[in-house]
């Protein structure tokens, strides 16, 4: 419905056949309105008009492909996919060869349209590895041909400078087998010159931008485009086009098509040769005879070209600077002037590139062509230059416009033929249509005896002085009275004054408008002359590809016959093309350029109107509207409009034709407006169709109201029934729930009454048979039995007699928890007592010392945790084994408690000296280790207190009483490796002898008494200190700083 509504939208009809009234203004307005809505496609019957939006639109997605796949042409919105699908299905299902003709001027989007057609056909074909390979090769031929055949022009950044016709061949299932590409009239003059603002062919810029450094060195090229004369020595920048990426895409495409690496290299080498030929400069000189001659001004470029193609530089220089003329049996070598030399150079470059392009097309055909013998169907896609009207029109525009005249001729004839065939097929009388027959213009150009091309060929072959003036004079004589030809001379003869027609020009009244052609260059371009010396030089090259491009250069095959002219070749190609197109069912895509600046979504009415005229769209619409403007199959027509009659709505039981006749009879349209064919209904004027559509829209509104009313009533009834049903279900469930709850409550009450009754009966019987104190006795008995059972079980499950094992069985009953905890404590103390009784006196004394150390230092000094694993030995000097130390033992007459080596801190300098420390039950002795002589003997009663740090060092201070005889010089500062054991044993010894604890201070700051006064000692933890020995530093006379680790 959406698509048909779009076609019949009165403001912007999708099919211009339905336009009413039909004028140039209404047609232009319709295209502009649709373009404003981003509807760039419009129909004229089965012809698609495409207006280039110059931006991407979201209408080419895979979802769109599926939407148009296998759909009726007029059942969907106008789209290029619709014509592609219609052509493909006609080929596949009806076995009719198809051709799609894409026309329009440069920049109108012809190349993109051909790509879209090919991509759609590739997308809807069946899948398979071999099929996918063929489709990929066909699609990848586009970027290769675009690189070598497209260029930037002032109108189009990717303008096709050649005509392309591709025959895609399918098997009986509609799967692609391969294809054949034909090319027409490559614009080879662009090789040697192009106007400012345009570019040469893309491949030159892509090669320079995308080639690797090594590749460019092998091709002897520089990356800078400004170095090359054929590129106008201009930079290559083009917004929106990445030449380097495109070059890599071209290389990938050639690999997919099947080019070997050697072929790609040879292709690029020949391309580089063409580019470098433009840098070959000639200089003028004079021979002894006084004749002008030319020579190579800079041999470097020529040398590099010859290295690339494997040719002697002298041979190429001679071919460029001189010419061999053969007349019968004589051969004359003549020198060329500088202009003649440049002409030969440019002719060589154009011929090399043109023949290379032909070779490229043939090489692609060799990869994609179908093997002979297979049955095939063909779909042709023609992408060819549109009609061109420039300020200065030359030979190329003349040839291009001739081709467009032929395409217009086939378009009109085949459209009329198709219309006539449909009318005959449907049994409706055919009314002859008046239209402009452009065969008179085609005959003016192509007549083999007196056509413009024949006169041009005749002039090129005529001996003597030949120039454009004689050619124009001959045309003026021949066509003096022709109504489609005029020149300055014919105008003068008719006494017509027209300043817009210069003397060196003639004008042809084409179907698309008047075009003025300048005859300058016609003869030269038609001759397309290449000196035989240059052909032979190219054939002499060792480069295989280049040599194959010039077979006429073989000295064994020298022919004095002139080659066919460019006009003759093109005329023959167009004739072959027309014959090919006549054999196929045509489908047309007319491309329109909306503005000259390539601005997105900008519509210039004057420009579009000019294209409407020379594309012949008005004439096309008139041909399609000849007789009847609208026709449709009975089935879809009845399906769309059956609601307009009560007899056909909502369903018709008879045939579709009978239903359509009944429907239209009730609507009372004039009989001359309608015609009933065998399978289709024909409506003469668009006004009748729009009236039919208006009635349908009004009826649709009524039906929509009816449907809405019916739906609302159904929805309300359904809602009520659902609510009623839900209420009944909820009520039933609620009543059931209430009864269940009531039953549960009654059951619970009955159980309670039963329990109370049974209890009352038991109590009554108990009071009757038992004493009043029986319950207490029973309870005591049970309690004693449980306790007995608990104790017996505990005796069997006592934990092991290991002091560290604190496990204990849990109480089986809660009332035994306190007793169980008490028993656990008693058992543990008993276990510890048994463990202590087993200890030896030495082990006992050691554990007592460790316990004492824990009380003194645990959680107070860092060194304590490190001493836990060290056993207290007491005697570290080996006094009994060393005879040297025996006299020290004799000095201490009482019992020895500990003997160790310590370091005594010098009170004056802070330096440390080693000393032997002996602790006895009554004294503390410090001796010289070398002489083994006592230095100081202190009574334990002289020790006032001891100070240590909280760090992991062995530093301590022995504070002595002032009355001490041994401490006349003051307190002692010592460093011991067994500090924890030393202070612990000193503490125990004092407790044993004096029953007083050792005053112990664990602090970082304390005061010591020296002979010269008190000194404040500050202990600092520092990384500068040694790993074990503290560092003592005097800070004046009354301060000392101890650095510990």
Adjacent-strand bridge partners of 381? 100, 166
Q: Enumerate residues 6+ apart whose C-beta is below 8 A from 104.
A: 50, 110, 386, 590, 591, 592, 593, 611, 615
Residue 128: C-alpha distances to residues 122, 135, 253, 260, 526 (Å):
12, 10, 20, 25, 48
Mark whether 427 is an active-site residue. no
Mark whether 6 is an active-site residue. no
Which residue is catalytic, options 45, 107, 211, 380?
107
Which residue is catalytic, options 30, 50, 52, 111?
111
The token duo for 374 is 């297979």
Nearest to 448 by CA among 311, 277, 571, 608: 571
The token duo for 703 is 């039906």
Which residue is catalytic, options 42, 50, 52, 106?
106
Which residue is catalytic, options 30, 50, 141, 160?
160
Mark whether 867 is an active-site residue. no
Q: Is 790 helix (H, G, I), strand (E, B) or coil?
A: helix
Consecutive H or E run containing 896 = strand 896-905
The token duo for 204 is 């030159």
Mark whether 386 is an active-site residue. yes
DSSP state for residue 923 in the 8-state scheme: E
CA separation for the pair 598, 678 (Å, rounded): 48
Q: Is the C-alpha dihedral spanning 972, 973, 975, 976 positive or negative?
A: positive
CB 1041 within 8 A of CB 1035: yes
Nearest to 571 by CA among 443, 469, 394, 410: 443
For residue 20, report the phi and psi dihedrals to the nearest 5 degrees. Answer: -145, 120
Mark whether 645 is an active-site residue. no
Q: Is the C-alpha dihedral spanning 789, 795, 796, 797 positive or negative?
A: positive
Nearest to 168 by CA among 271, 247, 99: 99
Q: Enumerate residues 6+ apart whose C-beta is below 8 A from 588.
A: 46, 47, 48, 100, 101, 103, 411
Which residue is catalytic, options 30, 42, 156, 487?
156
Mark whether 1041 is an active-site residue. no
Which residue is catalytic, options 388, 419, 486, 981?
388
Residue 693: C-alpha distances to residues 4, 689, 718 (Å):
10, 6, 36
Mark whether 966 is an active-site residue. no
Which residue is catalytic, options 104, 178, 341, 386?
386
Residue in the structure block whose two tokens are 């009275």: 481
Mark whether 106 is an active-site residue. yes
The token duo for 567 is 């006009």
Which residue is catalytic, options 159, 490, 526, 688?
159
The token duo for 165 is 């016709």
CA separation for the pair 1035, 1037 (Å, rounded): 7
Q: Is the C-alpha dihedral spanning 797, 798, 803, 806 positive or negative?
A: positive
Using left for φ > 0, alpha for ψ between -120 and 50, and beta otherwise, residue 464 falls in left
Adjacent-strand bridge partners of 1006? 1017
Consecutive H or E run containing 144 = helix 129-149
Adjacent-strand bridge partners of 506? 487, 517
The token duo for 747 is 């059951």
CA separation for the pair 275, 349 (Å, rounded): 8
Longest dimension (CA), the chain: 170
Mark 302-319 as b/e (b = at least 16 C-beta within 10 Å): bebbbebbebeeeebbeb
Residues recognised as catalytic: 106-107, 111, 156, 159-160, 386, 388
């Amino acid at each position: 419905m959406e698509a048909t509504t779009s076609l019949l939208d009165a403001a912007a009809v999708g099919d211009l056949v339905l336009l009413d009234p039909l004028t140039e203004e209404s047609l232009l307005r319709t295209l502009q309105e649709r373009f404003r809505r981003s509807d760039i496609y419009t129909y004229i019957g089965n012809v698609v008009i495409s207006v280039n939006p110059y931006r991407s639109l979201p209408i080419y997605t895979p979802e769109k492909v599926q939407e148009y796949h296998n759909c009726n042409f007029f059942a969907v919105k106008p789209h290029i996919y619709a014509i592609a699908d219609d052509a493909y299905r006609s080929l596949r299902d009806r076995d009719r060869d198809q051709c799609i003709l894409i026309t329009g001027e440069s920049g109108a989007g012809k190349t993109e349209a051909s790509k879209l057609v090919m991509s759609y056909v590739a997308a809807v074909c069946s899948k398979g590895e071999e099929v996918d390979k063929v489709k990929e090769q066909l699609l990848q031929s586009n970027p290769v041909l675009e690189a070598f055949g497209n260029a930037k022009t002032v109108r189009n950044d990717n303008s096709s400078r050649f005509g392309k016709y591709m025959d895609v061949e399918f098997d009986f299932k509609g799967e692609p087998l391969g294809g054949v590409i034909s090319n027409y009239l490559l614009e080879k003059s662009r090789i040697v010159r192009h106007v400012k603002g345009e570019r040469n062919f893309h491949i030159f810029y892509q090669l320079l931008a995308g080639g690797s450094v090594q590749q460019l060195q092998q091709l002897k090229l520089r990356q800078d485009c400004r170095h090359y004369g054929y590129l106008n020595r201009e930079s290559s920048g083009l917004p929106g086009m990445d030449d380097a990426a495109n070059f890599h895409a071209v290389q990938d495409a050639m690999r997919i098509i099947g080019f070997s690496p050697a072929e790609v290299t040879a292709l690029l080498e020949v391309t580089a040769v063409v580019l470098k030929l433009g840098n070959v400069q000639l200089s003028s000189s004079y021979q002894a005879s006084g004749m002008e001659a030319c020579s190579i001004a800079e041999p470097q470029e020529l040398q590099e070209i010859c290295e690339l193609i494997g040719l002697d530089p002298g041979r190429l220089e001679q071919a460029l600077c001189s010419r061999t003329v053969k007349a019968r049996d004589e051969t004359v070598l003549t020198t060329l002037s500088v202009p003649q030399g440049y002409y030969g150079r440019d002719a060589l470059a154009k011929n090399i590139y043109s023949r290379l392009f032909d070779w490229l097309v043939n090489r692609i055909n060799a990869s994609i062509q179908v093997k002979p013998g297979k049955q095939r169907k063909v779909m042709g896609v023609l992408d060819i230059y549109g009609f061109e009207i420039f300020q200065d029109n030359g030979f190329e525009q003349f040839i291009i416009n001739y081709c467009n005249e032929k395409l217009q001729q086939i378009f009109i004839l085949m459209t009329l033929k198709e219309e006539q065939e449909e009318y005959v097929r449907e049994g409706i009388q055919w009314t002859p249509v008046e239209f402009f027959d452009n065969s008179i213009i085609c005959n003016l150009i192509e007549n083999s005896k007196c056509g413009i091309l024949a006169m041009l060929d005749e002039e090129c072959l005529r001996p003597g002085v030949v120039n454009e003036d004689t050619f124009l004079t001959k045309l003026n004589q021949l066509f003096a009275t022709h109504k489609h030809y005029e020149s300055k001379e014919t105008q003068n003869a008719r006494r017509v004054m027209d300043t817009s027609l210069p003397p060196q020009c003639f004008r042809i009244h084409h179907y698309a408008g008047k075009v003025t052609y300048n005859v300058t260059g016609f003869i030269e371009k038609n001759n397309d002359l290449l000196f035989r010396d240059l052909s032979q030089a190219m054939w002499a090259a060792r480069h295989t590809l280049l040599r194959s491009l010039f077979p006429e250069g073989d000295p064994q095959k020298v022919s004095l016959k002139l080659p066919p002219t460019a006009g003759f070749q093109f005329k023959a190609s167009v004739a072959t093309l027309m014959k090919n197109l006549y054999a196929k069912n045509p489908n047309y895509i007319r491309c329109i350029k909306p503005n000259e600046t390539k601005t997105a979504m900008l519509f210039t009415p004057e420009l579009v109107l000019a294209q409407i005229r020379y594309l012949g769209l008005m004439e096309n619409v008139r041909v399609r509207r000849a007789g009847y403007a609208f026709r449709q199959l009975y089935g879809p027509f009845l399906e769309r409009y059956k609601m307009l009659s009560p007899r056909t709505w909502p369903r018709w039981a008879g045939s579709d034709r009978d239903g359509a006749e009944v429907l239209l009879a009730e609507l009372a349209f004039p009989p001359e407006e309608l015609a009933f064919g065998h399978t289709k209904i024909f409506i003469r004027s668009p006004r009748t169709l729009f009236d039919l559509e208006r009635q349908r829209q009004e009826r649709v509104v009524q039906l929509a109201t009816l449907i809405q009313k019916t739906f609302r009533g159904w929805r309300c009834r359904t809602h009520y029934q659902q609510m009623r049903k839900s209420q009944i279900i909820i009520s039933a469930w609620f009543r059931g729930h209430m009864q269940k709850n009531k039953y549960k409550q009654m059951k619970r009450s009955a159980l309670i009454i039963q329990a109370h009754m049974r209890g009352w009966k038991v109590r009554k019987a108990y009071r009757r048979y038992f004493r009043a104190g029986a319950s207490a006795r029973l309870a005591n008995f049970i309690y004693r039995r449980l306790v007995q059972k608990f104790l017996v079980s505990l005796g069997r499950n006592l934990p092991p007699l290991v002091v560290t094992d604190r496990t204990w069985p849990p109480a089986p009953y809660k009332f035994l928890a306190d007793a169980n905890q008490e028993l656990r404590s008693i058992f543990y103390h008993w276990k510890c007592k048994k463990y202590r009784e087993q200890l030896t006196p030495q082990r006992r004394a050691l554990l007592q010392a460790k316990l004492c150390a824990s009380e003194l230092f645990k959680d107070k000094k860092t060194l304590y945790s490190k001493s836990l694993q060290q056993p207290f030995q007491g005697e570290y000097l080996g006094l009994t084994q060393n005879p040297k130390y025996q006299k020290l033992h004799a000095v201490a007459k009482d019992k020895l408690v500990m003997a160790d080596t310590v370091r005594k801190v010098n009170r004056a300098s802070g330096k440390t000296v080693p000393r032997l420390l002996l602790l006895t039950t009554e004294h503390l002795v410090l001796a010289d280790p070398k002489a083994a002589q006592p230095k100081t003997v202190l009574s334990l009663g002289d020790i006032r207190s001891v100070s240590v740090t909280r760090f992991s060092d062995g530093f301590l201070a022995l504070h002595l009483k002032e009355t001490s005889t041994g401490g006349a010089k003051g307190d002692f500062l010592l460093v011991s490796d067994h500090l924890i054991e030393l202070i612990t044993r000193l503490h125990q010894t004092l407790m044993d002898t004096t029953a007083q604890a050792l005053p112990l201070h664990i602090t970082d700051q304390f005061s010591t008494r020296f002979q010269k006064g008190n000194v404040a000692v500050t202990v600092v933890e520092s990384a500068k200190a040694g790993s074990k020995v503290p560092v003592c530093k005097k800070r004046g006379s009354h301060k000392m700083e101890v650095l510990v680790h």
